[in-house]
Amino acid sequence: MVDMTIKDLDARVVRVWEGLRPTTQKMLVGALESTGNLLTATTSQKFEYDAHSDWELSRLLTALDEQSRAKSDAVKTEARQLADTCASILESQSASAEVFIQLAARAIKQHDYNRLEKLADHLLERYSAGEIAEIVRQTEYPQIRAIAYETLALLSVSSLLPLLDDPLYEDIATSALEQKAFEYESEEARDILEQLDAEEGYERIKAEG
């Protein structure tokens, strides 16, 4: 059924589908045929999910969401189901900044704010501080940036400290510490900010001298 549906879609979708590893195709078919949650414990054990799965599913989801025509409403419905299946697997398994942005942007475009809230929960549960900071750095959506900053502010101070040593994330980490210090009244975050201010002042005096 999936192969028949794919052949009726845009050439780009067909190319992406044909480029998937057999294990990824089987994972999608199994998820589509499941009657309960799209990714059951049995499915998780049967198919090993890895970074390449992330890339393949993300690429297929992009192609499906952008596919412009189908020969019938039935095919359009099946294509939408396949796209939603890709999104659900990614949502349950991925911890990639790029994938999070893709899924969150998709939820915003569909006005699915319940889905956006669930994605925010996954962000706190599964993503590293570095990946969350990367979301802030990459996204063009203010809603997604706000979610990422809010999540960073909920992390421990010790999780944020390594970001201060990375020029890409230093300003992001400082903003998260400020939010943590003043909105969440974290004394530990305030102490770190005071240390940063003192170090900055010292470096300024040193440079001027």
Beta carbons within 8 Å of 138's beta carbon, 6+ residues apart: 97, 98, 101
Give residue 120's pLDDT band: very low, low, confident or very high (50, 70, 90): very high
Task: List CB contacts of 173: < 8 A, sequence separation 6 or more.
Answer: 133, 152, 160, 161, 163, 164
Nearest to 143 by CA among 99, 113, 171, 178: 113
Res 98 pLDDT > 80 = yes
**pLDDT tens profile 18-76:** 999 999 998 888 888 774 444 433 444 456 788 899 999 999 999 988 875 556 677 77
Q: Domain coordinates of the chain in residue numbers? A: 1-94, 98-209
Q: Is the pLDDT of residue 206 over 50?
A: no
87 pLDDT above the threshold of 80: yes
Largest CA distance in the chain: 75
Indicate whether this model's pTM tops 0.75.
Answer: yes
Query: In one letter, which amino acid is 129?
Result: A
Per-residue pLDDT reduced to its tens digit, 163-198: 999 999 999 999 999 999 999 999 999 999 999 988
pLDDT for the residue numbered 33: 78
Residue 204 has pLDDT above 60, yes or no: no
Residue 3 binned pLDDT confidence (cut-offs 50, 70, 90): low
Q: What is the mean pLDDT of residues 98-119?
A: 96
Q: What is the pLDDT of residue 40?
A: 39
Length of the chain as a residue count: 209
Taking residues 142-165, what's their average pLDDT? Answer: 96
Which tens digits make up the pLDDT trace of 7-21? 777 788 889 999 999
Reading the block at residue 58, the tokens are: 């993300």
pLDDT reading at 6 higher than 80: no
SS (H, E, C) the chain: CHHHHHHCCCHHHHHHHHHCCHHHHHHHHHHHHCCCCCCCHHHHHHCCCCHHHHHHHHHHHHHHHHCCCCCCHHHHHHHHHHHHHHHHHHHHHCCCHHHHHHHHHHHHHCCCHHHHHHHHHHHHHHCCHHHHHHHHHHCCCHHHHHHHHHHHHHCCHHHHHHHHHCCCCHHHHHHHHHHHHHCCCCHHHHHHHHHHHHHHHHHHHHHHC
Count of C-beta atoms within a 10 Å radius of residue 1 = 9
pLDDT mean over 88-99 = 94
What are the tens digits of pLDDT across the range 132-148?
A: 999 999 999 999 999 99
